[in-house]
Structure 1
Amino acid sequence: MTNQVLQTLAEMRGIESNYVDAWGKPAVIKQSSKEKLLNALGYDTTDEEAVLNQIKTETLTYWQSVLNPVQVSRVSERLKFSLRLPLELVNDTYDFVVTTEQGKVFTKTFVPVDTQLINVAQLEEVEYQEYVIDFEEQLEPGYHTLKLMVEGDDEAFVTMRLIMAPDSCYMPDSIASGHKVWGLSVQLYCVRSQTNWGIGDFSDLDRLVTDAAKKGAQFIGLNPIHALYPANPEACSPYGPSSRRWLNFLYLDVTAIDGYQDAAVQKIVNSQQFKTKLQAARDAQHVDYALVAELKIEVLNAVFSTYEKQYFDKNSRQLKAFNAFIENGGESLDMLAVYDVMQEHLKDAGEPSWGWPVFPDKFKEYHKPEVTKFAKKHAKRVRFYQFLQWQAAEQLEQANQAAQKAGMTIGLYRDLAVGVSEGSAEIWGNKDLYCVKASVGAPPDVLGPLGQKWGLPPMDPQRLYDQGYQPIIDLFSSNMASAGALRIDHVMALLRLWWVPEGDHAREGGYVYYPVDDLLGILALESHRNKNLVIGEDLGTVPEEIRGKLAENGIFSYRVFFFEQAEDGGFFSPSHYPEQSMSTLTTHDMPTLIGYWHCHDLELGKELGLYPSEDVLQNLYAARHADKQEILNSMDGHNTLSGEVSRDVNQTAMTQPLNFGLQTHMATGSSALLSLQLEDWLQMDMPVNIPGTFDEYPNWRRKLTRNLEDIFADENLAQLAKRLTDARDQASTNK
């Protein structure tokens, strides 16, 4: 097979040939990788004839589609529609009929041959022509429908989804006017309190936003709180969820649900056995997900039974609200609940159950007839899991309301993971959309020198387009609910994703491109509908084109102090960061401040075998030492270094004055948003996650070292908060 034939198909499917790596050097995607990526997309690359036939089929499919399945346009642009017709039909008279989401109807009558011809193709002895038709009406933002009507016919010839989007994302007025704010980022599961059951919960979040707001914080940033796996609680990565549309019910405060005070429930929680287990869950150094799930599900079963008897046996307000929640959740909610019940059922029966790939064949896909029968047979249990989602949504909204009541500028900001795990309910419910023979990851970069493979099957961009972008609309909308901002993890995914073929090393992957302008338009629309500011995590191997697009679309960049270095090794002053950005010192994928300064991350990396050679490790140690001196130089130059801290790295440990000084140094910067990790407030040393590891380190389990009740009563932290607020206010006046 010639390289050119394969290359043609690869280009048709958006597979990149070249890219610039994280160190600014040109890199090439291997032909073998392109071939495997085409296989993952469902193509046969065994010989040239097979590839040519598929190219022919793809081309014919395009020309025989009169309208595109979906079009995303911006409200400021002149609206145009393209259509493709056989030559024999181009002299007929047609109507474009647009029905807006708001119920307005606009019509344009035209004859294609009288409009602008832009393309012609001869396929199977038929000539096809493509035209562009101007549409003069101004349409409101929203999800509209375009129908192509043939003159004299009552039925639509073909329909298309039309999405009209604002030019940029939503921004709160105070931020737009230059006000600079700070907030805290927290992994909710890490939170300790006197009342939670061994894992942070939504009541903890309610208290956290209230107490933090009193100290001047204007937002609380969360880890992804997506639904995980009730029957497999040890699969605990928030970045490898089962469904990104729904919530992890382990964050429920069980004691806050109506029915908890019932005698039957109290009998369970007051038993000595339960109390012993609960104390063990609270005292554990790391979150014991299995124990937490056992405790919560046992009590939630009893609470649900009580709730049913109390409210669901009559036409109560609660029943109406629950039924409305189920109706609004539609197939997606039903699918997740059925999946959770099925996984639980298979586990209880001693059968393989970690995910749909090991389910019996008759249960391997949500839309199979046997799954429908199963759901009917287990309807009450399905309703139980729907109930948990309802209660989780209610408690999250209560925390959101607490943030608004406290006067926070932003309030909660949520985090959207880049994908779902291989065995997820999200894939089980929409198999056509995902390419399970590949995984999302990253080429070698600073955070992962060996490259990364995350075990998250990517969406097929063509299938996403064919489905009218509904899956991505649902993801944006649901993750903006009960929040004032959305952080999009690995925001480069809107432009391209690093796909790693099944069985290959992370470095053997390649980039696959996505319809970035369409996705950004949808993001802008949902941002305004939900009044969410949008932050894009743009770390790693980032092409310049995406940074420009993000800025133009009103998306905030993500600036990490330790990565903001000049070519000479010096650290940029935070006052030089883009105003349209969120700055931070560390992230969930990085060491804490103490961990960074004392090189705990390098020691752990050596123990876990993350570095290709001893030379690489020694170079990292040397670079870290030099970087720390440059940090001291930068802080000294900007007068943010306390007199208690030596200017010589050889005499300087990460003490509280240096820790708090670094945080204040960041607060003087020009970024509109400053996010600080609660771990660094508490001067913790161990990281919450080490990229590139699976079970070598207890990722996503390490708890905070202090109870929530104690943190904001600490006078040292109160003084830090005041310094941050004063610095942010001063930075706001310096713009």
Structure 2
Amino acid sequence: MGLEKLLYLQGVGAEFIDCDGQLIQIPQQDRAGILTAMLANKLAKSDAHVDIQHQLSTINIEQKIYQLDVEQWCELLPSFQFSYLSEPCLHFHLPKQGAQVKITIKFDDSNIDAVQFQCNTQQLTIIGEYHYDNIHYCRYQIALDEYVSLTIPCGYHSITIECINTEQRNIGKSSATLLIAPDVTYQLKEPQKEIGYRPWGISIQLYSVRHEEHYAGIGDFKSLKEVIEMSADLGADFVMLNPLHALDITYPENASSYSPSDRRRLNPLYIDIEALAEQIGCDHQKPECGVNLFDDTNIDYQEVSRFKYGALKFMYEFISCKSLKVNDSFIEAFNTFKRQQGQKLLLFIEHELAHAPEWLTMPADFYAFLQFVATQQLIECQSQCKNLGMKIGLIGDLAIGALLHGNEVQSEMDQFCSRASIGAPPDPFSTTGQNWGLTPLDPVKLKQHDFSHFIQLIRSNMSLYGGLRIDHVMGMLRLWWWPLDKNLGNGAYVYYPVETLLAIITIESHRAKCVVIGEDLGIVPPEIIGAMHDKKLFSNELFYFTHNYHGFAPCAHHKQHSLMMLANHDVPTLKGWWTQQDLYTRYSLSLFESEQEYTQAVAERQHQRYQLVQWLHAGITQAQQSNKPIPQAINLALAELNLQSANAETLQQLHFESLLTVWLFVASMSHSTLFCVQLADLIEEVHGVNIPGTWKEYPNWQRRLPLSTNEIKHRSTVRTRCELINDVRRKFPKPS
């Protein structure tokens, strides 16, 4: 039982329910391998291939159990605890006895005076008990409303407890952090004049956006401002982004925004060079570039990196030149930024200095300059959204993890497990499982460090946006770990303190006025479903995933408190799906195991397309039965499509432009509170962003949109489709 108890205390799971609803037992050898990866985290590389049994034999299991289990009961106060605003409370530990304790609370808000009170343990509720070494320990809970007259505010408060009358004379006093969090995450406030209005927005991969007069070869914050202006004009309430995290400076071609170096920092390639030159008063000339970056279908990250960093070096040297007059307010704001960011920024700078290519040899301050400018420009983009009347503005995307060799992990190694990576267990879609190559936070170390890194990670991201999508939100509860050393087995689920993590997300969302969306696609344990519901995180639905044996789910069956996305970065575009281009691409890349599997996939897609037509017809029928008139654009499209008489044999004859217009109209009737369509889908782009299971076989994260923002906003079909979505989300009743 010693090993089993230690596995439990370290959060290593024993079983799980797979996608077929089957209970899967994780082999003991695999669980022990993950435990070894956790506890041998700091072994030298030369020790990496020692077998599991030898590794376990070097671990003092009983000592570890004592540290993780017994010690917490022997400590007067846990170093970090939380409760909610509706029932503020704190707890402490003492051997069972009648003791008088004195509590002092210093509030997070310095404008509120500290409070102090006394209570007797005999008057308190016991919420836990533990027996060890003939001592009966109790966990006592204090309901703060019973002892404090003022309303306890939300915040990370400092608490001190002192035993002033106890039989145990060596207990003394202890201090800790008490988080009082709002009961739910920040919620949108619905104007009374728009009761029932359901916000909608446009999602983009920022790097893919084109500007016809822009020569940088990659979408950036100049492009984003144009998308914001266009989206606001079309009636959208938000623009949803790919993660903008800092990537690997050494290898710019490794461009997946979901494999970042540091999720607390921004990718400098998104900086708008022209806006920066104007801000600092630099008469910047366009640098020469060896290739035509504008016309490329795919982004050449090597060339773009050299080009943009070259321009940014010029800008930095300009503000560093003492003989030139530079905008004083810019310099002052830059210095303030560095002071506020402190040691964490310095560690990031050191990492960038150590890993930058030779041609980018620059002073340390250069990398602080890049982060300051990128942060300032992104904040300006969010301000632009609000000034244009968008209800949410920008929705950012927080990746589930970071690279082992990146700054985030290396600078916070004490809170990560460097001998494992995260992914997903084997399933019918990936018989060998998925390994995402990202380093997991260690749940035990996270707790031992009072969740400091997680707080900073959430806070730094929420401060930039009006909404934050948390990728793979199930990671708040559990993550599948793969040991880096294959001798340590085939992985296991590791569980996290989900209640504490959600309390942190809740308070940080209120402080930043940032709505929270949890990406809960795939196998979703019921525990995370309930937790998201309780804290009012928006669920993230994907249209394709609403399909079942009977067809696509009616709009009335979509989750109400959710964001419905028609498509995202990991699935085909709407046109790619309808034309089956995605299947052909996968076939050409040999991603089907046989010709028969490809043929079967094509036949299944043909059936799904027919089911989509049926779904469209049912949706139109429902719209016609409402008291709202059907827009003329839809009547024209319906006349051309004649959905009633469409059958499996005539699908190929349907005009896709009209089909897409009807598709967007019906889908926007979704019961979901939030609704989102890709800019790529509005312009009928056929190629997807990323094909899971490929690396260099397909230009993942490289494709640029075929049209510039200016061309898109003048397309009549785009404006018509957005007007239809806007009309439905504002005027049509929610499907019942």
Moved more, 586-595 or 51-60: 51-60
Q: Do the aligned residues in 2 keep the contact of 1:286 with 1:703 (CA within 8 Å)?
A: yes
Alignment of 1:631-670 (within 5 A): 631-639=612-620, 642-645=638-641, 647-653=646-652, 655-670=656-671
Q: Which residue of 2 aligns with 1:133?
A: 141
Q: Which residue of 2 aligns with 1:360?
A: none
Q: Which amino acid aligns with 1:300?
A: L
The Cα offsets for residues 229-263 of structure 1, whole Å up to 9 and x where unpaired, read as 23321121100111111111100011111468978
Pick aligned residue for 1:108 from 117, 125, 130: 117
Q: Which residue of 2 aligns with 1:224?
A: 243
1:120 Cα offset (Å): 5.2
Q: Does 1:161 align with 2:177?
A: yes
Cα 1:181–1:56, aligned 2, differ >3 Å: closer, same or farther?
closer
TM-score, L = length of structure 2: 0.87
Cα 1:130–1:219, aligned 2, differ >3 Å: closer, same or farther?
same
Cα 1:311–1:147, aligned 2, differ >3 Å: closer, same or farther?
farther
Alignment of 1:669-680 (within 5 A): 669-680=670-681
1:684 Cα offset (Å): 1.4
The Cα offsets for residues 433-476 of structure 1, whole Å up to 9 and x where unpaired, read as 11121111122457656431100010001111122122111121
Q: Do the aligned residues in 2 keep the contact of 1:180 with 1:731 (CA within 8 Å)?
A: no
Q: Which amino acid aligns with 2:105?
A: V
Q: Do the aligned residues in 2 keep the contact of 1:333 with 1:386 (CA within 8 Å)?
A: yes
Q: Which residue of 2 aligns with 1:209?
A: 228
Q: Which amino acid aligns with 1:686?
A: H
Cα 1:703–1:159, aligned 2, differ >3 Å: closer, same or farther?
same
Q: Does 1:173 align with 2:154?
A: no
**Could you tell me how far apart the structure 1 residues matched to 2:184 and 2:317 are?**
47
Q: Which residue of 1 aligns with 2:629?
A: none
**Could you tell me how far apart the structure 2 residues matched to 1:732 and 1:325 are?**
47
Cα 1:479–1:312, aligned 2, differ >3 Å: closer, same or farther?
farther
**Could you tell me how far apart the structure 2 residues matched to 1:185 and 1:505 are?**
42
1:317 Cα offset (Å): 2.7
Q: Does 1:192 align with 2:244?
A: no
Q: Which residue of 1 aligns with 2:83?
A: 73
- SS at the partner of 1:189? helix
Q: Which amino acid aligns with 2:344?
A: S
Q: Do the aligned residues in 2 keep the contact of 1:196 with 1:204 (CA within 8 Å)?
A: no
Q: Do the aligned residues in 1 keep the contact of 2:196 with 2:730 (CA within 8 Å)?
A: no
Q: Which residue of 2 aligns with 1:463?
A: 445
Cα 1:131–1:61, aligned 2, differ >3 Å: closer, same or farther?
closer
1:713 Cα offset (Å): 0.7
Pick aligned residue for 1:149 from 143, 150, 162: 162
TM-score, L = length of structure 1: 0.88
Pick aligned residue for 2:566 from 581, 585, 598: 585
**Could you tell me how far apart the structure 1 residues matched to 2:615 and 2:364 are?**
57
The answer for unaligned runs of 5 or more in structure 1 is 351-377
Cα 1:505–1:629, aligned 2, differ >3 Å: closer, same or farther?
farther
Q: Do the aligned residues in 1 keep the contact of 2:6 with 2:61 (CA within 8 Å)?
A: yes
Q: Which amino acid aligns with 2:619?
A: H
- SS at the partner of 1:656? helix
Q: Which residue of 1 aligns with 2:335?
A: 323
Cα 1:674–1:414, aligned 2, differ >3 Å: closer, same or farther?
same
Cα 1:724–1:164, aligned 2, differ >3 Å: closer, same or farther?
same
Q: Which residue of 2 aligns with 1:490?
A: 472
Moved more, 662-671 or 501-510: 501-510
The Cα offsets for residues 178-197 of structure 1, whole Å up to 9 and x where unpaired, read as 32122110000011112140
Q: Which residue of 1 aligns with 2:347?
A: 335
1:491 Cα offset (Å): 0.8
Alignment of 1:271-420 (within 5 A): 274-277=288-291, 280-309=292-321, 316-344=328-356, 347-348=357-358, 381-420=363-402
Q: Which residue of 2 aligns with 1:247?
A: 266
Cα 1:217–1:9, aligned 2, differ >3 Å: closer, same or farther?
same
Q: Which amino acid aligns with 1:61?
A: E
Moved more, 464-473 or 254-263: 254-263
Q: Do the aligned residues in 1 keep the contact of 2:129 with 2:139 (CA within 8 Å)?
A: no
Q: Which residue of 2 aligns with 1:374?
A: none
Q: Do the aligned residues in 2 keep the contact of 1:69 with 1:160 (CA within 8 Å)?
A: yes
Q: Which residue of 1 aligns with 2:693?
A: 692
Cα 1:13–1:583, aligned 2, differ >3 Å: closer, same or farther?
same
Q: Which residue of 1 aligns with 2:533?
A: 551
**Could you tell me how far apart the structure 1 residues matched to 2:729 and 2:488 are?**
41
Q: Do the aligned residues in 2 keep the contact of 1:452 with 1:506 (CA within 8 Å)?
A: no
The Cα offsets for residues 536-557 of structure 1, whole Å up to 9 and x where unpaired, read as 1100111122122212211111
1:10 Cα offset (Å): 1.6
Cα 1:202–1:718, aligned 2, differ >3 Å: closer, same or farther?
same
Moved more, 41-50 or 495-504: 41-50
- SS at the partner of 2:533? helix
Q: Which amino acid aligns with 1:19?
A: F
1:276 Cα offset (Å): 4.2
Q: Do the aligned residues in 2 keep the contact of 1:224 with 1:238 (CA within 8 Å)?
A: yes
1:527 Cα offset (Å): 1.0
Q: Which residue of 1 aligns with 2:101?
A: 94
Cα 1:480–1:57, aligned 2, differ >3 Å: closer, same or farther?
closer
Q: Does 1:35 align with 2:32?
A: yes
**Could you tell me how far apart the structure 2 residues matched to 1:141 and 1:407 are?**
29
**Could you tell me how far apart the structure 2 residues matched to 1:109 and 1:312 are?**
63
Q: How many residues align?
A: 689
The Cα offsets for residues 669-688 of structure 1, whole Å up to 9 and x where unpaired, read as 21111110111112112111
Question: CA RMSD of the aligned region, Å?
Answer: 2.9
Q: Does 1:58 align with 2:68?
A: yes
Moved more, 675-684 or 255-264: 255-264
Q: Do the aligned residues in 2 keep the contact of 1:584 with 1:666 (CA within 8 Å)?
A: no
**Could you tell me how far apart the structure 1 residues matched to 2:304 and 2:127 are?**
62
1:617 Cα offset (Å): 4.2
The answer for unaligned runs of 5 or more in structure 2 is 41-51, 622-636
Moved more, 71-80 or 111-120: 111-120
- SS at the partner of 1:107? strand
Q: Do the aligned residues in 2 keep the contact of 1:443 with 1:506 (CA within 8 Å)?
A: no
Moved more, 49-58 or 523-532: 49-58
1:94 Cα offset (Å): 2.9
Q: Do the aligned residues in 1 keep the contact of 2:477 with 2:498 (CA within 8 Å)?
A: yes
Moved more, 207-216 or 648-657: 648-657
Cα 1:726–1:264, aligned 2, differ >3 Å: closer, same or farther?
closer
Moved more, 49-58 or 529-538: 49-58
Q: Which residue of 2 aligns with 1:6?
A: 3
Q: Do the aligned residues in 2 keep the contact of 1:427 with 1:434 (CA within 8 Å)?
A: yes
Q: Do the aligned residues in 2 keep the contact of 1:95 with 1:109 (CA within 8 Å)?
A: yes
Q: Does 1:620 align with 2:601?
A: yes
Cα 1:580–1:56, aligned 2, differ >3 Å: closer, same or farther?
same
Q: Which residue of 2 aligns with 1:533?
A: 515
1:141 Cα offset (Å): 0.8
- SS at the partner of 2:197? coil
Pick aligned residue for 1:510 from 492, 497, 500: 492
Q: Which amino acid aligns with 2:141?
A: I
**Could you tell me how far apart the structure 2 residues matched to 1:6 and 1:53 are?**
11
Cα 1:19–1:393, aligned 2, differ >3 Å: closer, same or farther?
same
1:80 Cα offset (Å): 3.3
Moved more, 398-407 or 92-101: 92-101
Pick aligned residue for 1:570 from 537, 544, 551: 551
Q: Which residue of 2 aligns with 1:421?
A: 403
1:115 Cα offset (Å): 4.1
1:157 Cα offset (Å): 2.7
Pick aligned residue for 1:26 from 23, 36, 53: 23
